[in-house]
């Protein structure tokens, strides 16, 4: 069963789904922004100031320019149990952004959604996550994103009744609320959905189970009651997904 193809939850067989069209999170200063699939810091660029000043000609724009970002994420969420899957779209190749596989030992052989074998690895797109060092393998064919953790902080408690959907392992950690870290050590919950206006634009949070054997992460959205069009969320009840655009569909 597949959330996207059959629109049935593989965990609880629920048929009511929430589709979050564009995932957003917090920037380092707390403002809400789109989550990119992959990003790269811009490199310092030499500036030609003539021969007399050539030694001072390197101008470091790191930090003053936003990073290069490609792609967006959307999610499908089971309204009953919260099980969530992430999909990337708009993942066009950019020579400045590295999508190469950097963790070959963790890479699945094929996409868990479509069976395709053309996977890339998306990194560094988010601000810091204090509880887990994570990244996603992304299928270039269908956009399905499989999240993996390299490391979970030791204070994260074990997950009761855990069973890994990848390796079958029974040893897991449960991050009750996945947070992002901004500047000045402030932490925000990664929201399930956001709206453009209002004092509290972010709604909901994510619980993540992490397999201690293979690192596979399973996402569950929490506090999703009442999410609707205001938050860019479409409720699907045995219906069909909104038009699927993008090159990887
Ligand atoms: Zn479910
Ligand atoms: Zn796929
Ligand atoms: Zn596992």
- Segment 108-133, tens digit of pLDDT: 999 999 999 999 998 755 557 899 99
pLDDT band of residue 62 (cuts 50, 70, 90) is: very low
pLDDT band of residue 54 (cuts 50, 70, 90) is: very low
CA-closest candidate to residue 237, choices 84, 14, 11 = 14
102 C-alpha to ligand 3 centroid (Å): 19
pLDDT > 90: what percent of the chain?
Answer: 57
pLDDT of residue 197: 72
Determine how β-strand 233-237 pairs with β-strand 24-26.
Answer: unpaired
Can you give the pTM of this predicted structure? 0.86
Which range, 82-86, 95-99, 235-239, is most confident?
82-86
Nearest ligand, CA 1: 1
pLDDT digits (tens, 9 = 90+) for 138-151: 999 999 999 999 99
Q: Which residues surround ligand 3, an ion (CB under 5 A)?
A: 164, 166-167, 169, 211, 213-214, 216
157 C-alpha to ligand 3 centroid (Å): 17
Nearest ligand, CA 16: 1
Mean pLDDT of 236-246: 59
pLDDT digits (tens, 9 = 90+) for 130-185: 999 999 999 999 999 999 999 999 999 999 999 999 999 999 999 999 999 877 77
142 C-alpha to ligand 2 centroid (Å): 4
**The 3-state secondary structure of the chain, one letter per residue:** CCCCCCCCCCCCCCCEEEEECCCEEECCCCCEEECEEEEECCCCEECCCCHHHHHHCEECCECCECCEEEEEEEEEEECCCCEEEEEEECCCCCCCCCCCCCCCCCCCCCCCCCCCCCEEEECCCCCCCCCEEEEEEEECCCCEEEEEEEEECCCCCECCCCCCCCCCCCCEEEECCCEEECHHHCEEECCCEECCCCCCCEECEEEEEEECCCCEEEEEEECCCCCCHHHCEEEEECCCCCCCCCCCC
146 C-alpha to ligand 2 centroid (Å): 10
63 C-alpha to ligand 2 centroid (Å): 35
166 C-alpha to ligand 2 centroid (Å): 16
pLDDT of residue 149: 93
pLDDT band of residue 56 (cuts 50, 70, 90) is: very low
96 C-alpha to ligand 3 centroid (Å): 32
Nearest ligand, CA 139: 2
pLDDT of residue 65: 72
Q: Which residues surround ligand 2, an ion (CB under 5 A)?
A: 111, 113-114, 116, 139, 141-142, 144
* Domain limits, the chain: 3-41+60-236
17 C-alpha to ligand 2 centroid (Å): 20
Nearest ligand, CA 163: 3
Mean pLDDT of 84-89: 96
- Per-chain mean pLDDT for the chain: 85
pLDDT band of residue 16 (cuts 50, 70, 90) is: very high
pLDDT of residue 249: 45
220 C-alpha to ligand 1 centroid (Å): 9
176 C-alpha to ligand 3 centroid (Å): 18
């Amino acid at each position: 069963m597949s959330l996207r193809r059959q629109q049935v939850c593989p965990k609880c067989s629920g048929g009511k789904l929430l589709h979050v069209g564009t995932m957003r999170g917090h920037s380092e200063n707390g403002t809400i922004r789109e989550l990119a699939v992959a990003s790269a810091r811009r490199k310092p660029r030499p500036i030609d100031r003539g021969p007399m000043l050539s030694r001072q000609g390197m101008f470091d724009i790191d930090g003053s320019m936003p990073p290069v970002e490609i792609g967006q994420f959307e999610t499908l969420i089971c309204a009953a149990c919260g099980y969530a899957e992430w999909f990337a779209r708009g993942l066009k190749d950019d020579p400045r952004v590295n999508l190469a596989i950097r963790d070959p030992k963790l890479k699945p052989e094929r996409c868990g959604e479509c069976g395709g074998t053309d996977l890339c690895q998306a990194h560094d797109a988010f601000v810091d996550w204090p509880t887990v060092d994570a990244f996603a393998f992304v299928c270039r064919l269908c956009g399905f994103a499989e999240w993996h953790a390299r490391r979970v902080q030791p204070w994260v408690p074990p997950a009761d009744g855990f069973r890994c959907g990848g390796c079958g392992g029974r040893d897991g950690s449960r991050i009750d609320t996945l947070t992002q870290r901004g500047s000045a050590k402030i932490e925000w919950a990664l929201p399930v959905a956001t709206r453009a206006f209002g004092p509290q634009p972010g709604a909901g949070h994510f619980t993540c189970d992490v397999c201690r054997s293979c690192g596979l992460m399973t996402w569950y959205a929490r506090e999703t009651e009442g999410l609707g069009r205001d938050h860019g969320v479409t409720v699907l009840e045995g219906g069909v997904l909104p038009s699927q655009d993008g090159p990887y569909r």
